[in-house]
A and B are shown apart, each in its own frame.
Chain A
Amino acid sequence: MYQYDKYDQAMVDARVAEFRDQTERRLNGQLTEAQFRPLRLMNGLYLQLHAYMLRVAVPYGTLSARQLRMLAHIARKYDRDYGHFTTRQNIQYNWIKLSDAPDILADLASVEMHAIQTSGNCIRNISSDQYAGVAADEVADPRPLAELLRQWSSFHPEFVALPRKFKIAVIASAEDRAAMRLHDIGIELVNKDGVIGARVFVGGGMGRTPMIAPEVRDFVPFEEVVSYLEACLRVYNRYGRRDNKYKARIKILVHEMGVDEYRRQVEEEFLHLKTLGIDPPIAELERIATYFAPPPYKQGLSDEIDRRDPAFAQWVDQQVAPHKQPGYAIVNISLKPIGGIAGDASSAQMDLIADLAERYSFDELRVTHAQNIVLAHVKKADLPAVWKALAGAGLATANLDLITDIIACPGLDYCSLANARSIPVAQKIAERFADTGRQQDLGELKLKISGCINACGHHHAGHIGILGVDRKGVENYQLLLGGSGAEDVSLGQITGPGFDENGIVDAVEKATQVYLDNREGGERFLDTYRRIGMKPFKDVLYA
């Protein structure tokens, strides 16, 4: 994992001191709320539906055990003993006191963490593949580039006041586990004739105007990625719509300008930037890469797994993914117990996961955009012990990528922007499909719920998506089918009129029945939908 150098630490410590002073001035009346609001938002502190909410950045979703223990400590000491892992691989605390916020930021800084640029019109936390560095199919480890971009984008003076917020994802596998093309900039590292570089997509996103990012360049040499992204951002900063926040994202600019003209202007800017020498020297890239060297794996380990316990075998089949190192596996920890709240973890659960990471996973964890946690390097021989420990803490649900592995935003239960509750709908659907055999029969089925058009619950990218709306003061839920955030990216289509809270659960069940009645061979729900289209679903949903 990357470790702060003296500059990183000095910047974060200085920001803590600055925010402590700003908070004191707000509390003693020297600053009005209008003056203080942008300052607290720059530090990830929102005023939400019930209290202040703090969003903490988890850089490209990677955490050490020490960091996760600190997150648990913050939940226990300053919040109500839990945190919420988000669809941007971050963590949010829902019950923060303003007077505690500087101390929390100081605690975070002590473990090389912060909440800087988790709000506002700036480049947000870089997201990545939770299997980075361990996926068998990756062409390179995407984390060194993600770290380089973290450093480049932190306090970048030209990009702290963009027309709108800006999200970047970096992957390095053909399989997209990070919804890469639904970001403002999506980067896929590729190998071209033995040389690693970036395939760059610009102008994707969800929200009220969902768009899939078109490819802007098929290859940027690795050592020139920073100046190419600088060019992408410059063109956006110059022409992005500052007059209308609903048209201010880069996706609107690329769409309105046209991808060819946007590309032409980026290339022009890129040529100019290359003359300025802003790309980091190779030595710096190599310095960063050394932090992501593979851990000292044991060689010659067996790939055998003792599957005599059926419950354990089922968990292995669902939650364990292949690792590139023989004898090791990737463990996905579900934060989606049936009837639970997607992404929530208690301080005790966080402490336990940290212990497991330290003991069994070379001290390394990942947060996924699907609101789960990953132990990246577990010996196959240790899987039974890990499973038993997880089961004892309610963390051994075997539902990865099944219908109960639901992404749900906090919705109207916590969020002041929301129009409808997401969590109760997710809970009811999970309870309806709780039977393990039924879930497995349905196979891979990604269900995603947002409580408003801002789409934090990624409803556009769900094989089944649900969007909560406010219909004259009553919660109503629209159903979408056919979305995907993966390498077969697509945007879901609305089926028709919405449903009430119970009706949407019934509607999901009917949609799954249409799938079961029509599927062929090994088709997933999404495959069947794409083959037969919307009509058979509508015929049943609105009969």
Chain B
Amino acid sequence: MNILTGNDLASGDVIWWTGNGWSRHVGEAIDVGDKGDEIAQTEVAARRANEVYMIEAEVVDGTVRPAHIKDRIRALGPTVRLDLSLKPADPAAGNWVI
């Protein structure tokens, strides 16, 4: 599947396209098929997102998981500071990346 990601313009936060907006949680990303460029253009023009691009992902155990390790770290946060990640209470969160 193809999912769309970018950064929030003002905060810089990593965001994911959910079909009707942007989420900080990759698990809410949807498959945009071949519509990525079209959505990206609209969203960037409206300043709802910045530096938008499409990446490959797959659904694993019911959760969207980016195909490449760099995108998984981007989705979770630094593996060496899980307290700053999206799952600060889960000491095993880093396993999802590897």
**A473 pairs with B69, CB closer than 8 A:** yes
Q: Interface with A: B29-37, B57-65, B71-79, which one?
A: B71-79
Residues A402-438 near B (CB distance < 8 A): 412-414, 416, 418, 421, 423-424, 427
Q: Which residues of A contact B47 (CB under 8 A)?
A: 27, 29
Within the complex, which residue of B44, B67, B79 is in contact with A33, where a contact is CB–CB below 8 Å? Answer: B44
| Listed stretches A94-102, A124-132, A147-155; interface member | A94-102
Known contacts: A33-B51, A413-B80, A421-B79. The answer to whether A50 contacts B74 by CB under 8 A is: yes
Which of A98, A416, A427, A473 is the one whose CB lies under 8 Å from B9? A98
Among candidates B10, B79, B80, B84, residue contacting A97 with C-beta atoms closer than 8 Å: B10
User: A98: which of B11, B78, B81, B84 is its contact (CB, 8 Å)?
Assistant: B11
Sample of 19 further A-B pairs with CB below 8 A, known A97-B10, A414-B78, A421-B79: A26-B9, A27-B10, A47-B7, A47-B51, A49-B74, A50-B12, A50-B77, A51-B7, A51-B12, A96-B12, A341-B80, A412-B69, A412-B73, A413-B81, A416-B70, A418-B70, A423-B80, A424-B80, A475-B69
Nearest chain-B residue to A27 (Cβ)? B10
Is A272 interfacial (CB-CB < 8 Å)?
no
Partner of A49, one of B67, B70, B80: B70
CA distance A360 to B14 in the complex (A): 43
A47 to B80 alpha-carbon distance, docked (Å): 20
Residues of B near A26 (CB, < 8 A) are 9
CB distance from A472 to the nearest CB of B (A): 10
A123 to B93, CA, bound (A): 41
> In the complex, A221 Cα to B68 Cα: how many Å?
54
Q: Quick check: is B18 within 8 A (CB to CB) of the other chain?
A: no
Residue A80 interfacial (CB < 8 Å): yes
Task: Evaluate contact between B73 and A49: CB separation under 8 angstroms.
Answer: yes
**A42 vs B67: C-alpha distance in the bound complex, in angstroms?**
33
| Chain B 9-50 interface 0/1 with A at a Cβ cutoff of 8 Å (1 = within) | 111111000000000000000000000000000001001001
> Which residues of B lie under 8 Å from residue A27 when comparing CB positions?
9-10, 47
Nearest residue, chain A, Cβ from B71: A49
Give the chain B neighbours of A29 by CB distance below 8 A.
47
In chain A between 205 and 238, which residues have their CB closer than 8 angstroms to a CB of chain B? none
**In contact, B69 and A51 (Cβ under 8 angstroms):** no
> In the complex, which residues of chain A have a beta carbon less than 8 angstroms from the beta carbon of B14?
50-51
List, sorted by A's number, 25 A–B pairs whose CB atoms are closer than 8 Å: A27-B10, A47-B51, A49-B73, A50-B74, A50-B78, A51-B7, A51-B12, A52-B12, A97-B10, A97-B12, A98-B9, A98-B10, A98-B11, A98-B12, A341-B81, A412-B69, A413-B73, A413-B78, A413-B81, A416-B70, A421-B73, A421-B80, A423-B80, A424-B79, A474-B69
How far is B74's CA from A414's CA once the two chains are assembled, in angstroms?
8
Binding site for A on B (CB under 8 A): 7, 9-14, 44, 47, 50-51, 67-70, 73-74, 77-81, 84
> B residues within 8 A CB of A95?
12, 84
Q: Shortest distance in angstroms between A167's beta carbon and chain B's nearest beta carbon?
A: 26
A475 to B47, CA, bound (A): 35
The smallest C-beta distance from A101 to any residue of chain B, in angstroms, reads: 10
Residues of B within 8 A of A50 (CB): 12, 14, 74, 77-78
Give Cα distance in the complex from A204 to B51, angstroms. Answer: 34
In the bound complex, residues from chain B placing their C-beta under 8 Å from that of A475 are: 69
Give the CA-CA distance A416 to B13 in the complex, in Å: 14
Distance in Å: Cβ of B94 to nearest Cβ of chain A? 9
Most buried by A among B12, B51, B78: B12
Is A80's CB under 8 angstroms from B11's CB? no
Interface string of A463-504 (1 = CB under 8 A from B): 000000000011100000000000000000000000000000
Tell me, in angstroms, the Cα distance from A29 to B48 when the chains sit together.
Answer: 11
Shortest Cβ distance from A438 into chain B, in angstroms? 24
> In the bound complex, what is the Cα–Cα distance between A413 and B51 (angstroms)?
20
A456 CA to B83 CA, complexed, in Å: 25
CA distance A50 to B73 in the complex (A): 9
A418 CA to B71 CA, complexed, in Å? 12
Residue of A nearest to B44 (CB): A33
Bound Cα distance from A49 to B13, whole angstroms: 10
CB contacts (< 8 Å) of A421 on chain B: these are 73, 79-80
